[in-house]
């Protein structure tokens, strides 16, 4: 069995080697096993995907339940796993640090913290406090007996504040606070991503499938992106297939969707326990 240290070192090395890598996002044990069998090198949880699987909206899952889910994903795969830890489940630096400590105890070797406040009137955490939260999380991660890849997220473009200059200023503050990876979900222009990459000295994660951004892996690599995640896109694609199947039955009384289903035997074999 691969140890947490071995996973951590492998995950760190993915961020150091040439080229980019894709880190897909399972939302349950089954999808974790499918993605593992598909040859990816690491996995990342998706808070939104898990919430949807529980019949909840994004952000409605409490920390303890999220950590139990994260532990299940870790147990389901030998791959390194990074956890979507939302805003750290608390406004203070101390809460951010505690969340990182608890997350590491589940077996993950990386985790992200974002600066969305949840307050529509002031949707971003004050920059100084946000940086202090990243610093506290980074200091906690540094105490671990393995390299922990801390990702800091600037949520400007997701909360209706599409200010690239402020986004970059935030990510620069987070790198100074000790973040290992930087991430600004919601960017929609190749030029903005390229500007961001040039403005920081940490690996940059870009999420695909969240907005109308249409770039190939080669294009993303050419502008210096190191890591590509999918957020809840795979989950929403699967749910989209479910909804279209329901619509076919209800509107046409037909079952053509079943022709697109994965054969039962294929799934049964994939999930069979080793002898």
Which pLDDT tens digit goes with each residue over 193-248?
Answer: 999 999 999 999 999 998 888 999 999 999 999 999 999 999 999 999 999 999 99
- Residue 252: the pLDDT is 98
- The verdict on pTM exceeding 0.75 is yes
Q: Model confidence over 31-61: pLDDT tens digits?
A: 999 999 999 999 999 999 999 999 999 999 9
Residue 275 in this model has a pLDDT that exceeds 70? no
- Residue 234: the pLDDT is 98
CATH for 4-231 is 3.20.20.60
> How many Cβ atoms sit within 10 Å of the Cβ of residue 16?
8
- Residue 154: the pLDDT is 98
Residue extents of the structural domains in the chain: 4-231
Residue 152 in this model has a pLDDT that exceeds 70? yes
Residue 94 in this model has a pLDDT that exceeds 90? yes
- Residue 128: the pLDDT is 98
- Residue 211: the pLDDT is 84
Q: How much is the CA Rg of the chain, to the nearest whole Å?
A: 19
Q: Model confidence over 203-214: pLDDT tens digits?
A: 999 999 988 889
């Amino acid at each position: 069995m691969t140890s947490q240290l071995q996973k951590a070192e492998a995950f760190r090395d993915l961020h150091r080697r040439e080229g980019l890598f894709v880190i897909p996002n399972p939302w349950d044990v089954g999808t974790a096993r499918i993605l593992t069998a598909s040859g990816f090198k690491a996995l990342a949880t998706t808070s939104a995907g898990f919430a949807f699987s529980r019949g909840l909206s994004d952000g409605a899952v409490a920390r303890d339940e999220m950590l139990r889910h994260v532990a299940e994903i870790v147990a389901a795969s030998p791959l390194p796993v990074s956890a979507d830890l939302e805003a750290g489940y608390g406004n203070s630096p101390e809460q951010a640090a505690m969340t990182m400590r608890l997350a590491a105890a589940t077996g993950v070797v990386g985790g992200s913290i974002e600066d969305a406040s949840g307050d529509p009137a002031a949707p971003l955490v004050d920059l100084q406090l946000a940086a202090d939260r990243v610093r506290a999380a980074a200091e906690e991660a540094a105490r671990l007996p393995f390299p922990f890849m801390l990702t800091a997220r600037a949520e400007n473009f997701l909360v209706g504040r599409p200010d690239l200059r402020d986004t970059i200023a935030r990510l620069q503050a987070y790198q100074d606070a000790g973040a290992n990876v930087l991430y600004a979900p919601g960017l929609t222009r190749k030029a903005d991503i390229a500007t961001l990459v040039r403005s920081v000295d940490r690996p940059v994660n870009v999420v695909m499938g969240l907005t109308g951004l249409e770039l190939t892996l080669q294009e993303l690599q050419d502008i210096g992106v190191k890591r590509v995640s999918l957020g809840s896109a795979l989950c929403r694609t699967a749910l989209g297939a479910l909804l279209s199947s329901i619509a076919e039955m209800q509107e046409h009384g037909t079952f053509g969707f079943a022709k697109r289903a994965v054969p039962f035997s294929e799934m049964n074999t994939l999930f069979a326990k080793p002898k």
